Structure 1
Amino acid sequence: MCICTFRRPDGIRRALTSLIDADIPPGWRVEFIVVDNDRDESALEIVSAIKNNRPNAVVHYFVETKPGVSYARNRCIDEASGSVLTFIDDDEYVGPHWLIDFILTLDAHHADAVFGPVIPSFEAPPPAWIGLTGAHQRARFPTGSTVEWRNAQTNNVAFRRSLLNDGKRFPVQFAKTGGEDSLFFAVAAASGHKLVWCDKAMVTETVPLNRMTRRWVLERAFNGGRTFVRLQAILVSPLAYVYYGIYGLLFSLILIPPLLFTLAIGHARHMQYARSLLGNLGKVAARFYGGGHYGG
């Protein structure tokens, strides 16, 4: 079981403890890999304390000094030895039957990777407009459904080591922006690997106050639009920059009138239009907007 972490002391404590306390399928042995992407080793003391309190758990702690989520995830792959790898994020935690649900689905559907839902848990009651934007809502599907790459992410996944054949790793060109997991699983699906859904294997994601702000929601939408086009340019054609640039510009113009109207009358739905607008502007800027950051 793998977790990448970066300066989230409460998060890594809860995530790792929940994984250790989860039920294990009969006959299985489990190891826990924590990769700290902070060169200052800020998670070391927390992980060491958990190891001391759970002496029967096999917990390994590593520091990945190259900043970026791709490097941290690849370090997990390099250090893990199991036939099945799981990933959750350091702001999530699992229930007691989580791993068993994953393994049962892997076997029942002869799958190579299984994904599960991420359920938000807000630290405080969210403002009304949050629910209208859908910023913290993710798609869910019936168990056994085929998962497309757009919904294939490492925030809740179990996959067989066979996906790593021929040295496959998370692409580092997305290390600072995210999207590396979608590309990784898109390549796996194109190679014939079977990706399915398990709706029972859910994790809970803690949503802090700083993720309930308009700025966070809009920045997330912009970066998501940009990353989507970058992925399309790799998976389909570089012409995706042109196609989605034009599409994003035209759709942005369509969104401006309802945005201004709902904003003028003080309707909470204005944030839904604003989020869609920023997502489309991200598509327009995808070819020209460099750098970026991951997390937050």
Structure 2
Amino acid sequence: MSSRPAPPSPPRPISVAELDLDAPDGNVLSLRPAPGGPAVVAGDVYALVRLRGRPAATVIGTVAAGEDPAEVLGALARERLVAAGPRGDAERLAARSRPVSAGPPPRTSVVVATRERPEQLARALDSLLVQDHPDFEIVVVDNAPRTTGTRDLVTRKYADRVRYVREDTPGLAVAHNAGLAAADGPVLAFTDDDVIADPHWLTALTAPFTADPGLGCVTGLILPARLATPAQILLESHGGFAKGFAPRLYDPAEPPADEPLFPFTAGSFGSGANMAFRTEALRKAGGFDPATGTGTPAKGGDDLYAFVAVLSAGFRLRYTAEALVWHHHRDTWQDLRNQAYGYGAGLTAYLTATLVRSPRLLPALLTRLPRGLAYARAMTAQRGEPADGGVPGEHGTHHHPWPRSLSRLERRGMLYGPIGYAKARVTARRHGRNPR
């Protein structure tokens, strides 16, 4: 009697590190663990490669016992930045690493929405308080709290440095709108309570507003803070939240030729854990739709809705990898299942919200619908090739490869999204948060 083949072994934990080079083909300036992480030792290592401090690429390598991690990863980084492409690419990377003079960044209000996670929130706030931005405030929005844990943390540990706002209606978009109402800065930045912000994050995220008066939104790079569990590795190996290292400018007056679904592929613009808006632009766009977001029946889509709303109002959107946060991915398989379903639901919920609140966009969406359906099916069937320099993976089983069960969950979520949004609108009206 034949026995079933043994399932593949779960991936072993991967260290996360930062490697700084003085040039694409230059010397290693430093190697250190990701913020708060353990020292880099033998084993698999995923490293952010910086060029004189500025993010340029990622690499993954295996450091054998007795080897110098800086030498191993430095060689991989140089190969990636130089040997894998023409010299011109290396020069372009070096030029991209140099700062662009745009004047001082504007005063900014940083909004962190949270719910019953004071330990994670403290870690995020500690990183925000050491930003090199010259003029900013921090606003914590305590969303539908069940305990006093968040209020106690803010008022006791961060008194006079962090403002506390309570919002009793559940939902991430509602919490973000509460932050929008409370903020006093001409620019409004948003991040999550499960990130650690790079010290230069806020300056890099907000300086572009000074240089471009027509800019409505800026998004940035999100990398994993830990790759310690199979679920964390699986998510990152198939894209995670990263949008690459090349800067992009999305202009509604000049739609990108390589994105025929623009502006409805909002997921390519960035993510809610790392975004900033010109306050005037976000208010002109109507803020966040209170019937979207985590904590509502819609399960997500609040950030995607806001991106499209701001673009539809005539403002530009910029992505920059220099604005970096480190995200603590969820730990467990069940977390990943919930995330997959929520991504699918949030995608179609935001599209529904966009059409309900801006019906003038319906003709444009209908012309793009056939391509959009094909894109969505391809996206959920297999989450693309491994991320640039990232963790390898294949479509197939419940360990390192991307499971078909998660693809099915995403598709089920996509079918549910419009229903969830309709339920969320009813709930929003009940709470007096009346979507237009």
TM over 0.5: yes
SS at match of 1:45: helix
Measure the CA separation in 2 of the matches of 1:245 and 1:143. Answer: 24
Query: Which structure 2 residues correspond to residues 201-216 of structure 1 after superposition, within 5 A?
Result: 201-207=323-329, 211-216=330-335
Structure of larger gyration radius: 2
Please say if 1:232 is aligned against 2:351: yes
| Distance across 1 between alignment mates of 2:314 and 2:376 | 35
* Higher strand residue share: 2
**Aligned 1:186-205 pairs, distance under 5 A:** 186-205=308-327
* 2-structure distance, mates of 1:102, 1:139: 15
Displaced runs of 4+ in structure 1, greater than 6 A? 242-252
Supply the distance in 1 between the matched residues of 2:414 and 2:226 (Cα, whole angstroms).
Answer: 29
**Deviation at 1:61?**
0.5
Matched-pair contact (CA < 8 Å) for 2:195–2:328 = yes
1:138 aligns with 2:242: yes
Post-superposition Cα deviations, 1:65-92, rounded to whole Å, max 9, x if no partner, equal 1111111111101111111111110111
CA–CA distance in structure 1, aligned partners of residues 113 and 232 of structure 2: 32
Higher-RCO chain (CA-CA 8 Å, sequence separation at least 6):
1
1:223: Cα distance to partner? 2.3
Summarize the Cα distance change of 1:12–1:229 in structure 2 as closer, same or farther, 3 Å threshold.
same
RMSD, aligned CA: 3.5
How many angstroms does 1:24 deviate by? Answer: 2.0
- 5 Å-filtered alignment, 1:1-40, equals 1-25=110-134, 29-37=135-143, 38-40=145-147
Which secondary structure state, in structure 2, belongs to the residue aligned with residue 112 of structure 1?
A: strand
| Distance in 2 (alpha carbons) for counterparts of 1:201 and 1:132 | 19
Shift of the 45–273 alpha-carbon distance from structure 1 to 2, 3 Å rule, reads same
Q: From 73, 76, 101, give the equivalent of 2:179.
A: 76
Report the 3-state secondary structure (helix = DSSP H, G, I; strand = E; otherwise coil) of the residue aligned with 2:327: strand
Structure 1 residue 131, shift from structure 2 partner: 5.5
Identity of aligned residues (%): 25
- Higher deviation after alignment, 163-172 or 93-102: 163-172
Gaps of 5+ in 2: 1-109, 252-262, 356-360, 383-394, 425-436
Amino acid at match of 1:173: A
Deviation (angstroms), 1:127: 5.9
- What TM-score do the two structures reach when normalised by structure 1? 0.77
CA contact (8 A) 1:248 1:283 kept: no
Give unmatched runs, 5+ long, in structure 1: 256-260
Residue 409 of structure 2 is matched in structure 1 by: 278
Q: How does 1:101-250 map to 2 (within 5 A)?
A: 101-110=204-213, 111-122=215-226, 124-126=228-230, 130=234, 134=238, 136-146=240-250, 149-150=266-267, 151-166=269-284, 168-175=286-293, 176=296, 177-207=299-329, 211-233=330-352, 234-235=354-355, 237=362
Deviation digits for residues 194-227 of structure 1, max 9, x if unmatched?
11011011001123xxx23333222322222222
Question: Which residue matches 1:258?
Answer: none
Tell me which protein shows more helix as a share of its residues.
1
- CA apart distance, 1:139: 2.1
Give me the TM-score of the superposition, normalised by structure 2.
0.54
Partners of 2:344 and 2:417 within 8 A in 1:
yes
State the Cα deviation string for residues 13-58 of structure 1 (Å, max 9, x = none).
Answer: 1111211111123xxx322111111153321121123325xx5x3x
